[in-house]
Chains A and B, each alone.
Chain A
Amino acid sequence: MSFIIIPLNRRIGVRNSSCIWSTIRLFSSETTSSDEQGDDKNYEEDIRNKILEASLPNVPELGWSKEAIAKGAQAVGYPGVTHGMFSRGGGDLLHYFQTSSNSKLVQFLKKYKEDMKENPIPPADFAERAIQERLKMVGPYVGKWPQALAIMALPPNVPNSLATLLTMVDDICYYAGDRSVDHNWYLRRIGIAGVYKASELYMIQDKSEEFKNTWVFLNKRLLEAVQLQDLLLKSENGTQMAKDTVQSVFVTARNILGINWNK
Chain B
Amino acid sequence: MSGSLKQLKRIIGQNLSVKYNFLPSVRLLTSQTTNDGETHFGFEKVKEQEKEKKVFEVFENVAVDYDIMNDTMSLGIHRLWKDYFMCSLSPTNNTKLLDVAGGTGDITFRFLDFVKNQNLQNCHATVCDINPHMLEVGKLRSSRYNYNANMVSWKEGNAEKLDFEDNSFNVYTIAFGIRNVTHIDRVLSEAYRVLQPGGRFMCLEFSHLENSTLQWLYDQYSFQLIPVLGQLIAGKWQPYKYLVESIRQFPTQENFKLMIEEAGFRQVTYENLTMGMVAMHSGFKL
Partner among B90, B199, B267, B282 whose Cβ is within 8 Å of the Cβ of A79 = B199
How far is B92's CA from A67's CA once the two chains are assembled, in angstroms? Answer: 8
Whether the pair A44, B95 counts as a contact (CB closer than 8 A) is: no
In the bound complex, residues from chain A placing their C-beta under 8 Å from that of B88 are 84
The residues of A that contact B92 with a CB separation of less than 8 Å are: 67, 70, 74, 79-81, 83
Does A85 touch B at the CB level, under 8 Å?
yes
| B95 touches which of A47, A67, A80 (Cβ 8 Å) | A80
Contact of A85 (CB < 8 Å), options: B89, B197, B267: B267
Total chain A interface residues with beta-carbon distance under 8 A: 18
A81 to B284, CA, bound (A): 10
Near A by CB (< 8 A), chain B positions 79-102 give 88-96
Q: How far is B167's CA from A130's CA once the two chains are assembled, in angstroms?
A: 48
Is A78 interfacial (CB 8 A cutoff)? yes
Q: Cβ of A84 and Cβ of B90 under 8 Å apart?
A: yes
Contact B200 A84 (CB under 8 A): yes
| A47–B90 CB distance below 8 A | no
Answer yes or no: B225 CB below 8 A from chain A CBs: no
- The residue of chain B having its C-beta at the shortest distance from the C-beta of A85 within the complex is B267
The chain A residues found within 8 Å of chain B, CB to CB, are: 43-44, 47, 66-67, 70, 73-74, 77-85, 87
Contact A79 B95 (CB under 8 A): yes
Closest to B97 in A: A81
Using CB atoms and an 8 Å cutoff, list the residues of chain B in contact with chain A.
Answer: 88-96, 170-171, 196-200, 266-267, 269, 282, 284, 286
User: How many Å from the CB of A76 to the closest CB on chain B?
Assistant: 9
**Closest residue of B by beta carbon distance from A84:** B200
- Nearest CB to that of A73 among chain B residues? B198
- Which chain B residues lie closer than 8 Å to A83 at the CB level? 90, 92
**Whole-angstrom distance between the alpha carbons of A43 and B91 in the complex?**
25
On chain A, the residues within 8 Å of B197 by CB distance are: 77-78
Residues of A close to B96: CB separation below 8 A: 79
Taking CB as reference atom, which chain A residue is nearest B90? A66
A82 to chain B: which residues have CB within 8 Å? 198-200, 284
Once A44-B286, A47-B286, A66-B90 are accepted as A-B contacts, the answer to whether A81 and B95 lie under 8 Å apart by CB is yes
Q: Write 28 A-B pairs (CB below 8 A) sorted by A numbering.
A: A43-B286, A44-B286, A47-B286, A66-B90, A70-B92, A73-B198, A74-B92, A77-B198, A78-B197, A78-B198, A79-B92, A79-B171, A79-B198, A80-B91, A80-B93, A80-B94, A81-B89, A81-B90, A81-B170, A81-B198, A81-B200, A82-B198, A82-B199, A82-B200, A83-B90, A84-B200, A84-B284, A85-B267
Q: How far is the CA of A47 from the CA of B198 in the complex (A)?
A: 10
Taking CB atoms, residues of chain A closer than 8 Å to B267 are 44, 85
List chain A residues, Cβ under 8 A from B170. Answer: 79-81
**Chain B positions within 8 Å of A44 at CB level:** 266-267, 286
Given A47-B286, A79-B196, A79-B199, the answer on whether A84 and B94 have CB atoms closer than 8 Å is no
Nearest 7 Cβ contacts at the A-B interface: A80-B92, A78-B198, A79-B170, A82-B198, A70-B92, A81-B200, A79-B198
Chain B residues contacting A87 (CB-CB under 8 Å) are 269
Q: Is the CB of B198 within 8 A of A84?
A: no
Question: Which A residues are CB-close (under 8 A) to B171?
Answer: 79, 81
A87 to B88, CA, bound (A): 9
CB distance from B272 to the nearest CB of A (A): 14
**Closest Cβ of chain A: how far from B118's Cβ, in Å?**
10
A39 smallest CB distance to B (angstroms): 13
Q: Let me know if A85 and B284 touch, CB within 8 A.
A: yes
Residues in B with CB closer than 8 Å to A47 are 286
The residue on B at minimum CB distance from A82 is: B198
- B202 nearest CB neighbor, chain A only: A84
Query: Known interface pairs A44-B266, A66-B90, A70-B92. Does A81 touch B199 (Cβ–Cβ under 8 Å)?
Result: yes
* Minimal Cβ-Cβ distance residue in B for A44: B266
Q: In the complex, what's the smallest C-beta–C-beta distance from A47 to chain B, in angstroms?
A: 5
